[in-house]
Structure 1
Amino acid sequence: MDNKLSIIPFGGVRENGKNMYAVSYNDEIFIFDAGLKYPENDLLGIDVVIPDYAYLVEHADQVAGIFLTHGHADAIGALPYLLADLQAPVFGSEMTLALAKLAVKAEDATKNFTDFHVVNEKSVIDYGDVKVSFFSTTHSIPQSLGIVLETPEGQVVYTGDFKFDQTAIEGYTTDLARLGEIGKSGVVALLADAAGTGNYGESVNESKIEEYILDKFQDHEGRIIVAAVASNIQRIQQVINATFKTGRKIVLSGNDLEKVVRTALQIHKLELPVPESELFVSFKNMKKLTPEETVILETGRMGEPIKHLQRMANGDDRHIKIGEGDLVFITTTPSTAMEAFVARTRDMMFRAGADVKSISQDLRSSGHASRNDLQLMLNFMKPKFFFPVQGEYRVLNSAAELAEEIGIAKDHIFITQKGDKLTYDGDNMLLSGSFEVGNTMIDGSGVGDIGNIVLRDRKILSEDGVFVAVVTIDRKKKKIISKPKITSRGFVYVKASRDLMRESSDIVEKTILDNLANIKEFDWSTLKTAVRDNLSRFLFEQTRRRPVILPVIMEVNQNGFRSGKQRGAKGQQNAQRVEELAKELGADEQPVAKKKPNKNKNRNKNKKTVKPETTEG
């Protein structure tokens, strides 16, 4: 590290979500946001994706702090994982930290972390050469903040998620005078939210959305099921208001939602028009309500409401089944990757007899800056260099074109990649280096243990299935003891493909015998590879598919046994393991035939048993 001003994105560029940016000066690193993103359809089985922050862990002693702009998952979702690997103070507004604490305390590795510091738009944190201050922004969650890093080289500004809404209520307003002050003081680099600039047209203001929600509630006489993102506090407030005005009561569905609502109520970021007991009803008492009185507010797992709606439509939810007379009201805007899934879900709900309404179909609603909003922010800040962030390349490129329209030189606009290190030398912003920054995938409790090879295998398994060949050999005698047994899952229907299975068994047998006869020094890996390659060629020729091929090759050894039931315990265990393996694979026949009862116990001295030197996959 040197004393020059540097900017490094670890996420949030050329992708949606997963915001994390590092600004360094004077050997100190300031981290802006630590977000996650939900996986695209090709990331099979992955729960969430977080930034690869290995570089920051290597320089953990230089991290001055982690600064959060707002409480959505794309800004705070990776915080528990980051804090498990490096300890640094965390700064954010009261609302932001309240939600961040929920995430941090939910993980065993970070549940005892307490180094949180509440800031607001008037706070200034002095690091000597560097000062960090904040400004209020308008977003769909209260107390969202932008960040200003003041250095001797000039100011670096990160907007976080923002938009301009002249009807915004208290707690959601943007301090326009403060933006003007920041711009007059000189901004060397602006990292600005570009997520909404890929679309033309202006978003409607939140007062119009509140009117729309109330209209839908008043127009429907039956039960209303509202799907919302748990952390969209503004939308939840609008639903609460509409529920009260139409004389209904709310049932909260989902642990994520209940925790967020309880937290927001405790710090007075949600306002109730009547006492809580008069507005909220538990699942236990839901049956006491008539359909005309009922509003079910649900978010589903990890704040993703659409998947939970499918469960309700299918009757898989133990509390709620969508049916005739229901209104399903989708108040969230799904990502592009979810569009096909949402279409299928809507169809399922219509089939169940429900009516379906969606804000995104009737109104252009967004918590992100429109094209005009971004240009207004650029005019306030007047940055020397501009870094569009939060969006795919096409979105960042659209933002770059907007910046050029208001006079920012093309060579002063940077569409970066993760791991690019841009350094300011007092005059120019230059790419001073670049290092690989990938994605860290979370699957269950595993963090980063799923890589491209595992994902490739999952994709193949999902498309072409698995093909298993089990065989037992005698290496010393160079022969096969048990003819290969073949089974498959998700590849072909076995009963209708007997010829294919028989020919596959013959290929395995020939391959093994050829290897045993021709190879002087036996090698398990070579034998396994030969079986896999020959089977792969044959199966592709026959089916034009490429399943995952798993050869299971076992070896028998000489083992001296005493008679009958007194034979070695290890030999019994080995034979049992082989039979269990065959059952686990689901083979139509056992890979090793069961031994017949031995009438002549004296023959047990020369008995051979299986030694499971298995080489799987």
Structure 2
Amino acid sequence: MSDIKIIALGGVRENGKNLYIVEVEEEIYILDCGLIYPENELLGIDVVIPDFSYLEENSDRIVGVFLTHGHADAIGALPYFLQKFSVPVFGTELTIALAKLFVEKDHISKGFDDYHIIDENTEIEFGNSVVSFFKTTHTIPDSVGIAVKTDEGSIVYTGDFKFDQSAIPMYQTNFAKISSIGENNVLALLSDSEGAESTVENASDLKIAGEVLDTFRNTEGRIIAACVASNILRVQQVLNAAEKSKRKVFITGKDLEEIVKTAMKLNKIELPSDELIVPVKDIDNYPDNEIVVLETGNLGEPIQSLQKMALGRHRQVNIKEGDLIYITTTTSTAMETTVAKTEDMIYRAGGTVKQISDNLKASGHGSQKDLQLMINLMKPTYFIPVKGQFRLLSAHAELANEVGIPHKNIFIPGKGDVMEYKDGRMRMAGQVEAGNTMIDGIGIGDIGNIVLRDRKLLSEDGIFVAVVTISRKQGKIISGPDVTTKGFVYVRANEDLIKESNEIVRTVVEENLSRKEFEWSRLKQEIREALSKHLFEKTRRRPVILPIIMESSYRNKKRK
């Protein structure tokens, strides 16, 4: 009997950063390698990727990385992964092309070329398993699920999916392939949970395309269509609607341009006419009722760019009176407050706002009925909800139980949890090291909780710096103390507080200089403690206190 382990290094109890490990005997199969964009409390952090420690300890066992689709939550961590590992990467044509865009921007992993293009008919034989694929419907073409076939049955990972009976051929689900896999013993199903709480059915893409076209035809002024760059399906619908409503499309944002060019090169986006897309620099040559601005913003997220447009700070297009800002993506619950503030800014700038979600539920993730249908088609012995926060995983687990999966066969994993199939049953079998690796500029993993805490304090109460120059030999202060602050208090209005702080520093320094045993660390710590206590008593704030103590190297020389 095969010894099988399933481990989530990311993508569970969070939205994004998907990376799942399937171990069959001594072989490790990596399913997706994604990132997550940071939330507000991760001040200054660019992106967050999974912790690769366990994979580094077992690097000689990795047979490859298998990608489900071309979104950042599935491929975004690949450049950082390839800095450490040289293993083959498998994915569909568009997925590999977009993965290369990510990798080529990284100065270390740039030049990696061990890519392998697969399709839904591909089967790859390894020592202990056969890896195959099945076509799924998502907001990007070439989206697939993955099946790792073992002697004990298949381990199936759905990737992101939904079911849409009216999907165009490029986006259609292969129900026959899914059913075939389900008829041949699925040991465990790892399934997308992001829509597990949704009781409202997704609108078909055909209906969404009609909604977009109606909006374009019934708008008299300019349309600024805000879209996620990697939502190629929505980009296609905007292009089609622009052509039918006799408008030109002006694309802003480097990310979108690269993705659109890549997709067009592979015939994954069909341009209705060669004259449809016009350079942004020529926008003033067209009347407002012939203009569609397609905006995605940095990292493919449009909301911040809309704010810049509303404030007149966008480098290419700004909002003016009569503009319709059409948000063509469904915003997450966590973004609702930010979107509401953005809408207010847009109205102040003279524009109006319409969201596609006002009339329709538009999502790339399956609703409850979709999720249960996938379970029924796959007929798994064990069920593992993935891709979502804990409440979504829990809701998905209940949906699985409703269609006949017993609770004892359902596992809701945390990051690093090991689910092992041995001696005929699946069980939790400990944990491996897993967590978040934070990327800040070119630094990988060098930002931890202490640095983030300091950044948080700096953002809230500012910094308080005390500078003193001393002579230990003479046992006295040569210059200072000089106190300065940033983001703490307005100095001119708090002169008494500054004078008191200077005296506190002077007293602490003189006391330390008078001792027989002088310690730099002790001096700095006592300054911090004394100032922290005093400043909190006076202001009820706790700034970051930074003592800078310098020693004078000046020596009196006797004249000859």
TM-score range, shorter chain: over 0.9
Aligned length: 560
Contact 2:51 2:434 survives alignment (8 Å): yes
Deviations 1:47-80 (A, max 9, x none): 1111111211221111100000000111001011
The aligned runs of 1:371-390 (5 Å cut-off) are 371-390=368-387
Deviations 1:258-312 (A, max 9, x none): 01111111100011222x2x11111222221111111111111110111111111
Contact 1:153 1:426 survives alignment (8 Å): no
Between the aligned partners of 2:473 and 2:162, the Cα distance in structure 1 is 75
Helix, strand or coil for the counterpart of 1:348? helix
Deviations 1:192-212 (A, max 9, x none): 000111222111111111010
Between the aligned partners of 1:165 and 1:283, the Cα distance in structure 2 is 35
Counterpart of 2:345 in structure 1 is 348
Residue 430 of structure 1 and its aligned partner are, at CA, apart by: 1.5
CA 1:373–1:36 in 2, change beyond 3 Å: closer, same or farther?
Answer: same
Counterpart of 2:537 in structure 1 is 541
1:484 aligns with 2:481: yes
Counterpart of 1:418 in structure 2 is 415
The aligned runs of 1:131-146 (5 Å cut-off) are 131-146=130-145
The unaligned stretches of length 5 or more in structure 1 are 562-602, 607-617
Letter in 1 for 2:196: T
Identical residues among aligned pairs (%): 55
Letter in 1 for 2:248: K
Contact 1:511 1:531 survives alignment (8 Å): yes
Counterpart of 1:559 in structure 2 is 555
Counterpart of 1:494 in structure 2 is 491
Letter in 1 for 2:65: I
Counterpart of 2:21 in structure 1 is 22
Contact 1:3 1:27 survives alignment (8 Å): no
Between the aligned partners of 1:52 and 1:296, the Cα distance in structure 2 is 39
Helix, strand or coil for the counterpart of 1:279? coil
Contact 2:27 2:128 survives alignment (8 Å): no
Between the aligned partners of 1:560 and 1:267, the Cα distance in structure 2 is 78
Counterpart of 1:598 in structure 2 is none
Between the aligned partners of 2:2 and 2:534, the Cα distance in structure 1 is 62
Counterpart of 2:184 in structure 1 is 185
Letter in 2 for 1:150: K
Helix, strand or coil for the counterpart of 2:372? helix
Letter in 2 for 1:299: T
Residue 152 of structure 1 and its aligned partner are, at CA, apart by: 1.1
Between the aligned partners of 2:475 and 2:412, the Cα distance in structure 1 is 62
Helix, strand or coil for the counterpart of 2:173? coil
Contact 2:54 2:433 survives alignment (8 Å): no
Between the aligned partners of 2:4 and 2:195, the Cα distance in structure 1 is 29
Counterpart of 2:431 in structure 1 is 434
Between the aligned partners of 1:542 and 1:208, the Cα distance in structure 2 is 62
Between the aligned partners of 1:436 and 1:54, the Cα distance in structure 2 is 7
Helix, strand or coil for the counterpart of 1:107? coil
1:71 aligns with 2:70: yes
Q: TM-score, normalised by structure 2?
A: 0.98
One of 366, 369, 372 as aligned partner of 1:369? 366
Deviations 1:204-237 (A, max 9, x none): 1111110100010001011111111111110001
Moved more, 329-338 or 128-137: 329-338
Deviations 1:296-347 (A, max 9, x none): 1111111011111111111111321101011111111223332222111111
Between the aligned partners of 2:443 and 2:50, the Cα distance in structure 1 is 15
One of 398, 401, 411 as aligned partner of 2:398? 401
Counterpart of 1:257 in structure 2 is 256
Residue 444 of structure 1 and its aligned partner are, at CA, apart by: 1.8
Between the aligned partners of 1:558 and 1:46, the Cα distance in structure 2 is 43
Residue 403 of structure 1 and its aligned partner are, at CA, apart by: 0.9
Between the aligned partners of 2:278 and 2:438, the Cα distance in structure 1 is 38
Counterpart of 2:546 in structure 1 is 550
One of 516, 520, 525 as aligned partner of 1:524? 520
Counterpart of 2:44 in structure 1 is 45
Residue 3 of structure 1 and its aligned partner are, at CA, apart by: 5.6
Q: TM-score, normalised by structure 1?
A: 0.89
Query: Which one has a bigger Cα radius of gyration?
Result: 1
Letter in 2 for 1:521: E
Letter in 2 for 1:321: N
Residue 534 of structure 1 and its aligned partner are, at CA, apart by: 1.0
